[in-house]
Structure 1
Amino acid sequence: MPQLVEAKGWEDDWTGTKDAAARRRMQTRLNTRAYRKRKSQATAGALIRSEPLVECWNNEQQSVSTVPASRIKQLYNARNPLLPKNLREEHFEIVFPLCPDHLITLLQFNSLRASAVNQTLISGILVTLLDCNGDEEIMHPELLPPALLPTALQQTVPHGSWIDLFPSPEGRDRLIQATGTFDEDELWADCIGGLYEGFPDDEIERRGMIAWSPPWHISGWEMSEGFLKKWGWLVKGLPGLLEATNRWRMERGEEPLVDDECARHTTA
């Protein structure tokens, strides 16, 4: 009988008992026993469900499987690792210092970052009036490094905003005066375009500008030899840039560049 499932002996059989009080006592005892059993089973089930799982290597299936943490010692011994060595460890052969080829893209990234710094410095300093014919006004010039202060030509002649980032007043004026006689996109590509256009490493090495120190001062910049030969008209006689370039080159033990290497710029 289902009512006697929890009965342990004849003393728990209440079916033949005529005394109502005695019958209720036996029924209560059986019900209490059944309740405690169900509660114990539920608690044990909860413990099993909450037991953490561990990833282990299954040699037969040659794959990773998860097993309860309590079964680890039953399934695996100390001589058999939970995971094979080739899954637990991964070795990378990296040799330092890196070869110079790894630095090429980093150098161009530094030039891009330096330009972004100068852009941040001049943002909010140069304000264009609402009048379409209005010139730029300098707001709070004391907050701007002297080398980035707009020249009279910058304030009176429309020009590309990228020119304002060049930390040389004379260089900015030269670019404004030469507007329309050179390819602006090509100049940009030769400076840092390799980051976007995927130039070969050996070609990038012959291009561009390098920023070594605070970008708002010309002394922190260096020209590559290829840049000087191609864009020599821009930098020929420019105060500070060739000197800064040679200072950085000599620190690396390289020969200085000379003014005679500058290319002549001819207009179309």
Structure 2
Amino acid sequence: MTDSSPSRTDTAMEYPIDLVAAPLIKLSDMAPRREIRTAGEDWTGITSSARRRKLQNRLNQRAYERRKASRRPASIHPGQGSRPRYASLATTDAPDAPGSPSVPQKLAVIKSPAGCTPGSGCVLLRPGAQGALRQFVKKAYEDYVLGCPQPWYLSTLIQVNVFNALVQNGFTLGFSDRWQKKGVISPFSIIGPLQSCDSYPLNLQPTALQRTVPHHPWIDLFPIPQMRDNILLSFRHLDMDELCGDLLDVKPGLEGKPSLIVWGDPWDTRGWEASPLFLQKWGWMLGGCRDILQATNYWRQSRGEDEILF
């Protein structure tokens, strides 16, 4: 008797699977794992229950702080949230930042006069780098929207945010777009009538040293007056290119290098944090800068990390 039952192949051809109607199962990472920032925080595969529980508690606390911050209105005060702003790429041809103090006119950034050598300055965005940066930020944002941010983006985003913060502070000070070039000198140190700076945020108003020591304008953009003075006092012995590279070199794969981190408004010292490696290498630069040292410990505590004893 011949077996008339259809073969597996015949069945597949006669009764094709309805892929459109098939239910879709959404796959996603476990919520706590989305908070992992370094390989050392991944608790999966760890056999020690105590170590695993410690890491899980840290990630759960981080997730809680992020959710709590997302429900709050934005504020200039560090105590009102602990979530950093997501990076975008500012450009020097943008208008003044919304909400920034008004300035009567743009300050021209002057070429260095003959005989004056304020240092080579810091080329904050090397030629050809802006296009690559835009692609990186676009990709990072798309992954963020899709709910699959990549941990390795973090180190690059930190530098992008610092760059953006300095650009925004340049807008706030009314600097022309030439402040990023080499061979220019800060308008604050130009001999001549002093322009009133009362309209600037307090932390960006030039110090007496900025008024008298010729320097590149990128130094004016840090919202930490004593840090600016410390840089100027050590100007002749400081490798500005090395400092600029640590803070603003936005190439991927530069994890574990000294850095500053921006969490809030760029002109507010309380929204900045210094990484342990930055303090180890450049700590002298923050001597007397009590505000950022306090802010650093605030942000560390908000992530469940230990305070740094200065």
TM-score (norm 1): 0.54
Letter in 2 for 1:202: E
The whole-number CA distance in structure 1 between the counterparts of 2:195 and 2:294 is: 30
1:157–1:202 CA distance, 2 compared to 1 (3 A): closer
Q: Structure 1 residue aligned with 2:298, among 241, 247, 253?
A: 247
The whole-number CA distance in structure 1 between the counterparts of 2:190 and 2:202 is: 27
Residues 196-247 of structure 1, C-alpha deviations (whole Å, 9 max, x = no match): xx363433xx321111101111111011111110001101331211110110
Q: Structure 2 residue aligned with 1:170, among 211, 218, 226?
A: 226
Q: Which runs of 4+ in 1 moved over 6 A?
A: none
Equivalences for residues 1-16 of structure 1 within 5 A: none
Is 1:182 aligned to 2:238, yes or no? yes
Is 1:154 aligned to 2:205, yes or no? no
The whole-number CA distance in structure 1 between the counterparts of 2:298 and 2:263 is: 11
Letter in 2 for 1:108: Q
Is 1:202 aligned to 2:259, yes or no? no
The whole-number CA distance in structure 1 between the counterparts of 2:286 and 2:159 is: 19
Kept in 1: contact 2:226–2:288 (CA 8 A):
no
- The residue number in structure 2 matching 1:144 is 200
The whole-number CA distance in structure 1 between the counterparts of 2:156 and 2:306 is: 23
RMSD: 3.3
Equivalences for residues 219-230 of structure 1 within 5 A: 219-230=270-281
Higher percent of residues as helix: 1
Letter in 1 for 2:200: L
1:124–1:160 CA distance, 2 compared to 1 (3 A): closer
Partner SS state of residue 149, structure 2: coil
1:188 offset after TM fit, Å? 0.8
The whole-number CA distance in structure 2 between the counterparts of 1:178 and 1:137 is: 25
The whole-number CA distance in structure 1 between the counterparts of 2:292 and 2:254 is: 25
- The residue number in structure 2 matching 1:262 is none
Higher percent of residues as strand: 1
Partner SS state of residue 222, structure 1: strand
1:163 offset after TM fit, Å? 0.9
1:103 offset after TM fit, Å? 2.0
Letter in 2 for 1:112: F
Gapped regions of structure 1 (runs ≥ 5): 1-78, 86-92, 260-268
- The residue number in structure 2 matching 1:112 is 163
Q: Work out which structure has the larger RCO, using CA pairs closer than 8 Å and 6 or more positions apart in sequence.
A: 2
> How many matched pairs?
167
Q: Structure 2 residue aligned with 1:212, among 259, 263, 270?
A: 263
Letter in 1 for 2:198: E
**Which of structures 1 and 2 has the bigger CA Rg?**
1
1:128–1:236 CA distance, 2 compared to 1 (3 A): closer
Q: What is the aligned-residue identity percentage?
A: 35
The whole-number CA distance in structure 2 between the counterparts of 1:228 and 1:218 is: 16
TM-score (norm 2): 0.47
1:127–1:232 CA distance, 2 compared to 1 (3 A): closer
Kept in 2: contact 1:108–1:191 (CA 8 A):
yes
Q: Structure 1 residue aligned with 2:248, among 185, 188, 192?
A: 192
Kept in 1: contact 2:186–2:216 (CA 8 A):
no
Gapped regions of structure 2 (runs ≥ 5): 1-14, 20-26, 30-146, 177-184
Is 1:234 aligned to 2:285, yes or no? yes
1:258 offset after TM fit, Å? 1.8
Partner SS state of residue 156, structure 2: helix
- The residue number in structure 2 matching 1:76 is none
The whole-number CA distance in structure 1 between the counterparts of 2:303 and 2:286 is: 22
